[in-house]
Structure 1
Amino acid sequence: MRHALARGSLLVALVTLAFSQPVYTAPRDAKVDAKEKALVSHVSAGEQASIALLEQLVNVNSGTMNFAGVRQVADMLRPRFEALGFKVSWVDGTPFGRAGHLVATRAGRGPHVLLIGHLDTVFEPNHPFQRWERVDENIARGPGAADMKGGIVVALAALDALSQANLLDSLQLTVVLHGDEEDSGRPLDLARRDLIEAAKAADIAIALENAADNPKTAVTARRSSTGWIVKVEANSAHSSQIFAEDVGAGAAYELGRILNGFYQEVRGDALVTFNPGLIASSTQVDFEKQPLGATLSGKNNIIAPTAIASGDLRTLTVQQLEETRAKMRKVVAASLPHTSAQIEFTDSYPPMAPTEGNRKLLSMYDEVSRDLGFGAVTEVDPRNAGAADISFAADHVDMAIDGLGLLGGDSHTPEEFADLRTYPIQTQRLAVLLYRLGKK
């Protein structure tokens, strides 16, 4: 997350970023056929209506835990998908403690493409950041403007352009819009069951996140997001007796040894990271997983009998994940005198490993971008791509790519904005990519 900008400097910063975007040339006529030109025209004609829709969506609070707001956004989108010939259903989120998901399907004769997005934002109704604000001609602030109601609007506009050009039937299409991407429901296997099942039936997955907020990049690989907890128990006694043969090192030193062992012995691969987000040790520790926290009580003259650390672990592949977990278990097992420790791992978002199929899809997207005059597109460094819902689908399809939504910046902060000049870029590229996938 970027640091929030001071309010007084916001406008200058946004305008500077907006005008740092590259200037694009006109489409290369030799590379763009008549149908693709028609798609470009349809996108241009519908731009203002799409921006108006985005404003309406942003002005409905759909913080993950505002179930009514999430459903309201889904209700606003349902008739638009139905008008394009989709069958739309609502997946009730009660079994996993969330509002639910919107799923839309459309039959066709070509490859099966899965489009992935989310309805929710991080901003709940009690947050002061609630409304769309047009900063200038190019910049609009608002919760979810870029992350990622803007992505949903890009997808709808691309699909509408294909429909107006009578090209939608060349694809089988499934759209999954989650209501809990920003705070996933539990159990996670239920919360992501519909997405995984849709991916198993699909050939290609395309996600609509804003990703790196750079029109020169797209995402072909994402690291996982899993969790770990280390719990330590030790002898307790008067502090003057610490290190005595019959007393031992205490829980705090043992936890310190473990964390230092992770740093010294497990750290190394740039794409493998593990961060302790909470560390606690005292005479009494009351630990809570959700929301993460700990309440402590103790004295300096008592050797702490309890220590706990909670953190996350991120890897690019499942093999890296398993190897790293094994190394962490080995460190934990080498206890100091009169201490014992255990480590527990929890699964959350799996990795989206880099594959030849993903890079092939990026190559097609890059070619579309060049042909439309928008320049080259390269892959984002996975170190800079956080976990996202496409990771649940990537292993089940031949090709996957992310970052094709509306771009902007400062997501997850009260300064979140969309750069509206990226709307025609992203929408035209997506529409032409889908058309070319249908041709193949």
Structure 2
Amino acid sequence: MTSLTASESATLERAADAPMLAQVEQWAAVNSGTGNLAGLRTVAGLLADAFAALPGEVRLVAPDSVENVDAAGHVKTIQRGDHLHLRVRPEAPVQLLLTGHMDTVFAADHPFQSLRWLEDGVLNGPGTADMKAGISVILAALGALEASPFAARVGYDVMINSDEETGSHASAALIAELAQGKTAALTYEPALPDGTLAGARPGSGNFSILIHGRSAHAGRNPEEGRNALIAAADLALRLNALKSAELKVNPAKIDGGGPNNVVPDQAILRVNMRPSTPDAMAAAETALRDAVAAVSHEHDVHCHLHGNFNRPPKPLDPAATRLFELVRDCGAALGLPPIGWNATGGVCDGNNIAACGIPVVDTMGPRGGAIHSSDEFLIVDSLAERAQLSALTMMRIAERGTV
């Protein structure tokens, strides 16, 4: 279908007229780095007020506990911010999940804190594209949907989490709960500057391997020591050797060591692994544990593995492909340049949703780029464009009853 009905056109005008730019400027002016709990509370309050314009109940959901291994080898609990949840018409025949995140990668003391115009229509600022703008698009699209003839046919859950940028450990269970029984899901990471969507994604796992050796004098009796730093380096090389077309491995950091005259008795290896398929993920986990066991035995050290694959791989199955094709066709009906999608090495909450068996397009946000850097930018004209694209996609899912 490549044309718009009269009712669709009226609904889409409403989506484009929403005050999205003003919202982005207000929300992005508040630092909400994942660790900035005060900033996250402020943004959560602003979002709760904004989403209260929709029917249903807005609630703030307490985060799950998150553990982390610090540089001294201690497992500590990290506090995360509350997540926002809105549920509307859970009895409707078509059920959708829309997700976004309120956190950014910029800490409270990061120098990138303000907004500025790079040129007409291009706004630079922390979290503008990733993803305060995406949240404004969710709100605009749903506001338009509520005024459409299809509103009664579709219910939805909106989830805006506070920890996506660090892996959604405090919100993964909530995402899985809300994904159950959904017809489809839309996630509002930014599209590329030309409108291209992210298609298949690899999985991702972050691991910390704590290695306990034995200290000794480096000159008098080094043979009685067990060098944890050497064991960590050996393990890093073994894991790096696992790289293949289906698995990316990045040994990222070793914490440990001490005075030159002491055999180090503790080290921590940090590593990220990104498998492209579920089979590759299973094989990577087995290979990781085998390498840890081999290093433990050969270096006579004790290793403790902490972490997991918190983002499963997201291949494009037939249902997901149909949803991408629907978004593409809606873009054509709106007169947008042809919308395509490419595999990417990045991960997001779309991985977790897809793992629940729900078709998802996870780059429904506005066009932008240079995310996770002080050059981050939002193409402002794409706010209206992407709000209309989302509203039309949801209306056509409601009309069909499926993707």
TM-score, normalised by the number of residues in structure 2: 0.84
CA distance in 2, matches of 1:417, 1:58: 12
Note closer, same or farther for the CA distance 1:325–1:228 as it changes in structure 2 (3 Å cut).
farther
- Equivalent positions of 1:324-339 (< 5 A) are 324-335=284-295, 339=300
- Aligned equivalent of 1:64, options 27, 34, 59: 34
| Higher alpha-carbon Rg | 1
Give the aligned partner of residue 267 of structure 1.
Answer: 243
Give the aligned partner of residue 46 of structure 2.
Answer: 76
After superposition, give the CA deviation of every residue in 1:104-138 in whole Å (9 maximum; x if it has no partner).
01106331100001122223333332233233321
Q: How many residues align?
A: 385
Aligned partner of residue 128 in structure 2, secondary structure:
coil
The one-letter amino acid of 1:134's match is W
Give the aligned partner of residue 135 of structure 2.
Answer: 152
Give the aligned partner of residue 206 of structure 1.
Answer: 186
After superposition, give the CA deviation of every residue in 1:203-258 in whole Å (9 maximum; x if it has no partner).
2121111154540223343422332415263685655987xxx7799555444433
Note closer, same or farther for the CA distance 1:368–1:329 as it changes in structure 2 (3 Å cut).
same
Residues 1:340 and 2:298 aligned together: no
- Maintained 8 Å contact 2:196/2:342: no
Query: CA-atom RMSD, angstroms?
Result: 2.9
The one-letter amino acid of 1:267's match is K
After superposition, give the CA deviation of every residue in 1:65-122 in whole Å (9 maximum; x if it has no partner).
3333323223223343332213211113485622201100110633110000112222
Note closer, same or farther for the CA distance 1:152–1:306 as it changes in structure 2 (3 Å cut).
closer
- Equivalent positions of 1:44-59 (< 5 A) are 44-46=16-18, 49-59=19-29
Give the aligned partner of residue 137 of structure 1.
Answer: 120
The one-letter amino acid of 2:380's match is L
Aligned partner of residue 406 in structure 1, secondary structure:
strand
Identify which range, 110-119 or 324-333, moves more after superposition.
324-333
CA distance in 1, matches of 2:158, 2:280: 31
The one-letter amino acid of 1:80's match is A
Identify which range, 57-66 or 140-149, moves more after superposition.
57-66
- Maintained 8 Å contact 1:218/1:380: yes
Residues 1:126 and 2:126 aligned together: no
Note closer, same or farther for the CA distance 1:262–1:428 as it changes in structure 2 (3 Å cut).
same
Runs of 5+ consecutive residues of structure 2 not aligned to the other structure: 67-78
Give the aligned partner of residue 69 of structure 2.
Answer: none
Note closer, same or farther for the CA distance 1:170–1:121 as it changes in structure 2 (3 Å cut).
same
After superposition, give the CA deviation of every residue in 1:306-325 in whole Å (9 maximum; x if it has no partner).
54422122223443222112
- Maintained 8 Å contact 2:211/2:228: no
Q: How many percent of aligned residue pairs carry the same amino acid? A: 25
Note closer, same or farther for the CA distance 1:212–1:233 as it changes in structure 2 (3 Å cut).
farther
CA distance in 2, matches of 1:337, 1:93: 41
Give the aligned partner of residue 37 of structure 1.
Answer: 9
Aligned partner of residue 226 in structure 1, secondary structure:
strand
- Maintained 8 Å contact 2:16/2:140: no
Give the aligned partner of residue 325 of structure 2.
Answer: 363
Note closer, same or farther for the CA distance 1:113–1:303 as it changes in structure 2 (3 Å cut).
same
Aligned partner of residue 154 in structure 1, secondary structure:
helix
The one-letter amino acid of 1:358's match is A
Note closer, same or farther for the CA distance 1:303–1:75 as it changes in structure 2 (3 Å cut).
closer
- Residue 153 of structure 1 deviates from its aligned partner by 0.6
Give the aligned partner of residue 103 of structure 1.
Answer: 85
Identify which range, 140-149 or 367-376, moves more after superposition.
367-376
Give the aligned partner of residue 15 of structure 1.
Answer: none
CA distance in 2, matches of 1:436, 1:154: 18
- Aligned equivalent of 1:432, options 388, 392, 399: 392
CA distance in 2, matches of 1:257, 1:122: 31
- Aligned equivalent of 2:161, options 166, 170, 178: 178
Aligned partner of residue 35 in structure 1, secondary structure:
helix
CA distance in 2, matches of 1:217, 1:191: 24
Aligned partner of residue 88 in structure 1, secondary structure:
strand
Give the aligned partner of residue 276 of structure 1.
Answer: 251
- Maintained 8 Å contact 1:234/1:338: no
CA distance in 2, matches of 1:217, 1:170: 27
Give the aligned partner of residue 24 of structure 1.
Answer: none
The one-letter amino acid of 1:181's match is E
- Residue 142 of structure 1 deviates from its aligned partner by 1.5
Note closer, same or farther for the CA distance 1:141–1:171 as it changes in structure 2 (3 Å cut).
same
- Maintained 8 Å contact 2:195/2:339: yes
Give the aligned partner of residue 235 of structure 2.
Answer: 258
- Residue 179 of structure 1 deviates from its aligned partner by 1.9
CA distance in 2, matches of 1:358, 1:239: 62
Note closer, same or farther for the CA distance 1:281–1:59 as it changes in structure 2 (3 Å cut).
closer
Give the aligned partner of residue 421 of structure 1.
Answer: 381
- Equivalent positions of 1:219-258 (< 5 A) are 219-229=199-209, 231=211, 233=213, 236=216, 238=218, 250-258=227-235
Give the aligned partner of residue 11 of structure 1.
Answer: none
Give the aligned partner of residue 279 of structure 2.
Answer: 319
